[in-house]
Amino acid sequence: MLDIWFTENHTEGYKVSWRIDKILHSERSRFQEIAVVESPDLGRALLLDNTVQTTTRFEFIYHEMIAHVPLMIHPRPQRVMVIGGGDGGTVREVLKHPTVETVELVEIDERVIQVSKEWLPQLSSALNSDRVKILTVDGLQYVKEKAAHYDVIIVDCTDPGGPSLALFTKDFYQDVYNALTEDGIMVSQTGSPTFSPHFVEAVKGIRQVFPCSSPYLTCEPSYIAGFWSFTAGSKKYALDTVNQDRMAAITTRYYTPEIHRAAFVLPKHIQEQIK
Protein backbone atom coordinates (compact mmCIF):
# COMPACT_ATOMS: atom_id res chain seq x y z
CA MET A 1 0.00 0.00 0.00
CA LEU A 2 1.45 3.36 -1.06
CA ASP A 3 0.82 6.77 0.42
CA ILE A 4 1.46 8.95 -2.62
CA TRP A 5 -0.51 12.08 -3.44
CA PHE A 6 -1.44 12.64 -7.09
CA THR A 7 -1.56 16.31 -8.02
CA GLU A 8 -3.24 17.73 -11.12
CA ASN A 9 -2.12 21.26 -11.96
CA HIS A 10 -5.00 23.20 -13.45
CA THR A 11 -3.42 26.64 -13.56
CA GLU A 12 -0.17 28.07 -12.23
CA GLY A 13 -1.94 28.70 -8.93
CA TYR A 14 -4.63 26.01 -8.66
CA LYS A 15 -3.91 22.33 -8.04
CA VAL A 16 -6.04 19.42 -6.87
CA SER A 17 -4.51 16.48 -4.94
CA TRP A 18 -5.83 13.09 -3.85
CA ARG A 19 -4.20 10.02 -2.39
CA ILE A 20 -3.17 7.00 -4.44
CA ASP A 21 -2.98 3.56 -2.82
CA LYS A 22 -1.68 1.66 -5.83
CA ILE A 23 -0.25 2.27 -9.30
CA LEU A 24 -1.84 -0.52 -11.31
CA HIS A 25 -0.40 0.31 -14.71
CA SER A 26 1.89 2.85 -16.30
CA GLU A 27 3.29 3.18 -19.84
CA ARG A 28 4.16 5.65 -22.58
CA SER A 29 2.15 5.13 -25.80
CA ARG A 30 2.86 6.79 -29.16
CA PHE A 31 0.59 9.63 -28.09
CA GLN A 32 0.68 10.03 -24.31
CA GLU A 33 1.56 8.78 -20.81
CA ILE A 34 -1.12 6.32 -19.71
CA ALA A 35 -1.63 5.28 -16.09
CA VAL A 36 -4.29 3.53 -14.03
CA VAL A 37 -4.16 4.14 -10.28
CA GLU A 38 -6.29 3.20 -7.30
CA SER A 39 -7.59 5.90 -4.97
CA PRO A 40 -9.42 5.28 -1.68
CA ASP A 41 -12.00 7.96 -2.54
CA LEU A 42 -12.32 7.88 -6.33
CA GLY A 43 -11.86 4.19 -7.11
CA ARG A 44 -9.73 3.38 -10.16
CA ALA A 45 -8.64 6.39 -12.18
CA LEU A 46 -7.40 6.59 -15.77
CA LEU A 47 -4.74 9.29 -16.16
CA LEU A 48 -3.46 10.56 -19.50
CA ASP A 49 -0.45 12.86 -19.36
CA ASN A 50 -1.11 13.29 -15.63
CA THR A 51 -4.68 14.48 -16.20
CA VAL A 52 -7.70 12.62 -14.81
CA GLN A 53 -9.86 11.18 -17.59
CA THR A 54 -12.30 9.16 -15.57
CA THR A 55 -12.74 7.49 -12.17
CA THR A 56 -14.81 4.41 -11.46
CA ARG A 57 -16.65 6.09 -8.58
CA PHE A 58 -17.98 9.10 -10.49
CA GLU A 59 -17.72 8.22 -14.21
CA PHE A 60 -21.46 7.54 -14.44
CA ILE A 61 -22.20 11.27 -14.09
CA TYR A 62 -19.98 12.33 -17.00
CA HIS A 63 -20.84 9.41 -19.28
CA GLU A 64 -24.60 9.59 -18.73
CA MET A 65 -24.61 13.34 -19.39
CA ILE A 66 -22.47 13.23 -22.53
CA ALA A 67 -24.50 10.35 -24.03
CA HIS A 68 -28.15 10.56 -22.96
CA VAL A 69 -28.62 14.29 -23.55
CA PRO A 70 -28.10 14.12 -27.35
CA LEU A 71 -29.66 10.66 -27.68
CA MET A 72 -32.83 11.63 -25.83
CA ILE A 73 -33.24 14.78 -27.96
CA HIS A 74 -33.14 12.75 -31.17
CA PRO A 75 -36.44 10.94 -31.94
CA ARG A 76 -34.78 7.77 -33.25
CA PRO A 77 -30.97 7.65 -33.03
CA GLN A 78 -29.61 4.77 -35.08
CA ARG A 79 -26.09 5.69 -36.20
CA VAL A 80 -23.76 7.16 -33.61
CA MET A 81 -20.09 8.17 -33.71
CA VAL A 82 -17.97 8.71 -30.58
CA ILE A 83 -14.66 10.53 -31.10
CA GLY A 84 -12.12 9.77 -28.35
CA GLY A 85 -13.77 7.86 -25.51
CA GLY A 86 -11.33 4.93 -25.60
CA ASP A 87 -12.22 3.96 -22.01
CA GLY A 88 -15.62 2.79 -23.30
CA GLY A 89 -17.84 4.64 -20.78
CA THR A 90 -19.65 6.75 -23.38
CA VAL A 91 -20.19 3.78 -25.70
CA ARG A 92 -21.66 1.80 -22.76
CA GLU A 93 -24.30 4.52 -22.26
CA VAL A 94 -25.03 4.86 -26.00
CA LEU A 95 -25.70 1.11 -26.23
CA LYS A 96 -28.48 1.41 -23.62
CA HIS A 97 -30.63 2.93 -26.40
CA PRO A 98 -32.35 0.06 -28.25
CA THR A 99 -32.77 2.14 -31.44
CA VAL A 100 -28.99 2.44 -31.85
CA GLU A 101 -27.80 0.04 -34.55
CA THR A 102 -24.11 0.99 -34.76
CA VAL A 103 -21.66 2.99 -32.67
CA GLU A 104 -18.34 3.86 -34.27
CA LEU A 105 -15.65 4.54 -31.68
CA VAL A 106 -12.95 6.68 -33.28
CA GLU A 107 -10.04 6.67 -30.82
CA ILE A 108 -6.57 7.77 -31.91
CA ASP A 109 -4.68 5.76 -29.28
CA GLU A 110 -5.17 2.01 -29.42
CA ARG A 111 -3.32 1.63 -26.10
CA VAL A 112 -6.02 3.58 -24.22
CA ILE A 113 -8.54 0.97 -25.39
CA GLN A 114 -6.29 -1.97 -24.46
CA VAL A 115 -5.39 -0.57 -21.03
CA SER A 116 -9.06 0.18 -20.30
CA LYS A 117 -10.03 -3.35 -21.37
CA GLU A 118 -7.52 -4.72 -18.87
CA TRP A 119 -8.06 -2.38 -15.90
CA LEU A 120 -11.45 -0.70 -16.31
CA PRO A 121 -13.92 -3.45 -17.28
CA GLN A 122 -16.81 -1.49 -15.73
CA LEU A 123 -16.42 0.96 -18.63
CA SER A 124 -14.76 -1.01 -21.40
CA SER A 125 -16.86 -4.19 -21.46
CA ALA A 126 -19.32 -2.41 -23.77
CA LEU A 127 -16.62 -2.29 -26.46
CA ASN A 128 -17.09 -6.02 -27.07
CA SER A 129 -20.65 -5.53 -28.33
CA ASP A 130 -21.29 -6.46 -31.95
CA ARG A 131 -23.02 -3.09 -32.42
CA VAL A 132 -19.63 -1.38 -31.85
CA LYS A 133 -17.05 -0.73 -34.56
CA ILE A 134 -13.65 0.44 -33.29
CA LEU A 135 -11.42 2.60 -35.51
CA THR A 136 -8.00 3.58 -34.19
CA VAL A 137 -7.53 6.71 -36.30
CA ASP A 138 -7.54 10.49 -35.84
CA GLY A 139 -11.15 11.68 -35.44
CA LEU A 140 -10.28 14.97 -37.11
CA GLN A 141 -9.46 13.26 -40.42
CA TYR A 142 -12.12 10.56 -40.12
CA VAL A 143 -15.01 12.98 -39.72
CA LYS A 144 -13.88 15.02 -42.76
CA GLU A 145 -14.49 12.03 -45.03
CA LYS A 146 -18.13 11.54 -43.97
CA ALA A 147 -21.28 13.20 -45.26
CA ALA A 148 -24.84 13.22 -43.88
CA HIS A 149 -24.51 9.82 -42.23
CA TYR A 150 -24.75 10.00 -38.41
CA ASP A 151 -27.74 10.87 -36.20
CA VAL A 152 -25.54 11.73 -33.22
CA ILE A 153 -21.82 12.55 -32.92
CA ILE A 154 -20.27 12.71 -29.45
CA VAL A 155 -16.82 14.25 -28.96
CA ASP A 156 -15.41 12.66 -25.79
CA CYS A 157 -11.81 13.76 -26.23
CA THR A 158 -9.03 14.91 -23.95
CA ASP A 159 -8.83 18.58 -22.99
CA PRO A 160 -7.31 20.71 -25.79
CA GLY A 161 -3.67 19.78 -26.42
CA GLY A 162 -1.78 17.58 -28.92
CA PRO A 163 -4.14 15.65 -31.21
CA SER A 164 -7.26 16.96 -29.47
CA LEU A 165 -6.45 20.66 -29.96
CA ALA A 166 -8.08 20.84 -33.41
CA LEU A 167 -11.22 19.13 -32.04
CA PHE A 168 -12.14 22.46 -30.40
CA THR A 169 -12.16 24.56 -33.59
CA LYS A 170 -14.92 25.92 -35.80
CA ASP A 171 -13.52 24.06 -38.84
CA PHE A 172 -13.88 20.75 -37.02
CA TYR A 173 -17.43 21.59 -35.90
CA GLN A 174 -18.27 22.33 -39.54
CA ASP A 175 -16.99 18.86 -40.54
CA VAL A 176 -19.10 17.35 -37.74
CA TYR A 177 -22.13 19.28 -39.05
CA ASN A 178 -21.54 17.87 -42.55
CA ALA A 179 -21.19 14.31 -41.23
CA LEU A 180 -24.60 14.50 -39.50
CA THR A 181 -27.96 13.76 -41.10
CA GLU A 182 -30.37 16.66 -41.62
CA ASP A 183 -31.74 16.34 -38.08
CA GLY A 184 -28.43 15.37 -36.44
CA ILE A 185 -27.11 16.43 -33.04
CA MET A 186 -23.58 16.78 -31.69
CA VAL A 187 -22.17 17.11 -28.19
CA SER A 188 -18.62 17.85 -27.14
CA GLN A 189 -17.10 17.91 -23.70
CA THR A 190 -15.99 21.55 -23.34
CA GLY A 191 -14.17 21.46 -20.01
CA SER A 192 -14.32 23.67 -16.98
CA PRO A 193 -16.10 26.98 -17.61
CA THR A 194 -14.06 28.37 -14.72
CA PHE A 195 -10.54 27.25 -15.60
CA SER A 196 -10.45 26.18 -19.26
CA PRO A 197 -9.29 28.97 -21.56
CA HIS A 198 -10.89 27.05 -24.47
CA PHE A 199 -14.45 26.91 -23.09
CA VAL A 200 -15.74 30.16 -24.61
CA GLU A 201 -14.01 29.56 -27.95
CA ALA A 202 -15.57 26.08 -28.23
CA VAL A 203 -19.07 27.32 -27.34
CA LYS A 204 -18.81 30.11 -29.91
CA GLY A 205 -17.42 27.76 -32.58
CA ILE A 206 -20.39 25.39 -32.19
CA ARG A 207 -22.81 28.35 -32.19
CA GLN A 208 -21.37 29.63 -35.48
CA VAL A 209 -22.08 26.31 -37.18
CA PHE A 210 -25.31 24.93 -35.62
CA PRO A 211 -28.66 26.80 -35.70
CA CYS A 212 -29.41 25.65 -32.18
CA SER A 213 -26.66 25.32 -29.57
CA SER A 214 -25.90 25.75 -25.89
CA PRO A 215 -23.53 24.59 -23.19
CA TYR A 216 -24.99 22.50 -20.41
CA LEU A 217 -23.52 21.81 -17.00
CA THR A 218 -22.92 19.10 -14.48
CA CYS A 219 -20.68 18.60 -11.43
CA GLU A 220 -18.30 15.64 -11.56
CA PRO A 221 -16.09 15.39 -8.46
CA SER A 222 -13.22 13.69 -10.34
CA TYR A 223 -12.58 16.87 -12.29
CA ILE A 224 -11.82 20.42 -11.31
CA ALA A 225 -13.97 21.67 -8.43
CA GLY A 226 -17.23 23.23 -9.58
CA PHE A 227 -19.06 22.98 -12.90
CA TRP A 228 -18.07 20.78 -15.83
CA SER A 229 -19.43 21.69 -19.26
CA PHE A 230 -20.60 19.98 -22.42
CA THR A 231 -21.83 21.89 -25.47
CA ALA A 232 -24.61 20.62 -27.73
CA GLY A 233 -25.32 21.64 -31.32
CA SER A 234 -28.53 20.62 -33.08
CA LYS A 235 -29.65 21.07 -36.69
CA LYS A 236 -33.36 20.84 -36.02
CA TYR A 237 -34.55 19.89 -32.54
CA ALA A 238 -34.69 22.18 -29.51
CA LEU A 239 -32.17 21.10 -26.89
CA ASP A 240 -34.74 20.78 -24.12
CA THR A 241 -36.65 18.15 -26.13
CA VAL A 242 -36.69 14.86 -24.24
CA ASN A 243 -38.31 11.80 -25.82
CA GLN A 244 -39.42 10.78 -22.38
CA ASP A 245 -41.20 7.53 -23.30
CA ARG A 246 -37.80 6.00 -24.14
CA MET A 247 -36.63 6.37 -20.52
CA ALA A 248 -38.52 3.18 -19.63
CA ALA A 249 -35.88 1.13 -21.46
CA ILE A 250 -32.86 2.93 -20.00
CA THR A 251 -31.34 2.56 -16.53
CA THR A 252 -29.40 5.56 -15.23
CA ARG A 253 -28.05 6.76 -11.87
CA TYR A 254 -27.71 10.48 -12.62
CA TYR A 255 -29.57 11.39 -15.82
CA THR A 256 -33.31 12.07 -15.70
CA PRO A 257 -35.46 14.18 -18.05
CA GLU A 258 -35.60 16.84 -15.30
CA ILE A 259 -31.78 16.89 -14.98
CA HIS A 260 -31.59 17.14 -18.80
CA ARG A 261 -33.67 20.32 -18.90
CA ALA A 262 -32.12 21.82 -15.78
CA ALA A 263 -28.58 21.31 -17.10
CA PHE A 264 -29.25 23.86 -19.86
CA VAL A 265 -30.24 26.54 -17.34
CA LEU A 266 -27.02 28.53 -17.07
CA PRO A 267 -26.02 30.74 -14.13
CA LYS A 268 -25.86 34.43 -15.02
CA HIS A 269 -22.05 34.67 -14.87
CA ILE A 270 -21.72 31.85 -17.42
CA GLN A 271 -24.34 33.47 -19.68
CA GLU A 272 -22.19 36.64 -19.53
CA GLN A 273 -19.03 34.66 -20.34
CA ILE A 274 -20.43 33.28 -23.62
CA LYS A 275 -22.35 36.35 -24.84
**Out of 109, 115, 154, 217, the residue judged to bind ligand SAM by CB under 6 A:** 109
Considering the rule CB under 6 A, would residue 95 count as an interface residue with ligand SAM? no
Can you tell me the distance from the alpha carbon of 234 to that of 208, in angstroms, rounded to the nearest whole number? Answer: 12
Binding mask 124-153 for ligand SAM (x = CB under 6 A): --------------xxx-------------
The yes-or-no answer on residue 3 being catalytic is no
Following CA atoms 90, 243, 203, 50 in sequence, which dihedral angle do they give, to the nearest 10 degrees? -20
Give the residue among 41, 61, 49 at the shortest CA–CA distance from 8. Answer: 49
Between 85 and 233, CB nearer to ligand SAM: 85
Q: Which residues pair with 82 in a beta bridge?
A: 105, 154
Considering the rule CB under 6 A, would residue 119 count as an interface residue with ligand SAM? no
The active-site residue out of 109, 151, 156, 175 is: 156
Q: Which residues pair with 152 in a beta bridge?
A: 80, 185
Please report how close the Cβ of residue 251 comes to ligand SAM at its closest, in angstroms: 21
Can you tell me the distance from the alpha carbon of 205 to that of 202, in angstroms, rounded to the nearest whole number? Answer: 5
Considering the rule CB under 6 A, would residue 88 count as an interface residue with ligand SAM? no
> CB of 111 within 8 A of CB of 85?
no
Considering the rule CB under 6 A, would residue 194 count as an interface residue with ligand SAM? no
Q: At what angle do helices 170-179 and 199-209 cross, to 10 degrees?
A: 40
Considering the rule CB under 6 A, would residue 218 count as an interface residue with ligand SAM? no
Contact residues for ligand SAM, defined by CB under 6 A: 31, 48, 53-54, 62, 83-87, 106-109, 112, 138-140, 156-159, 163-164, 167, 189
Active site residues: 156
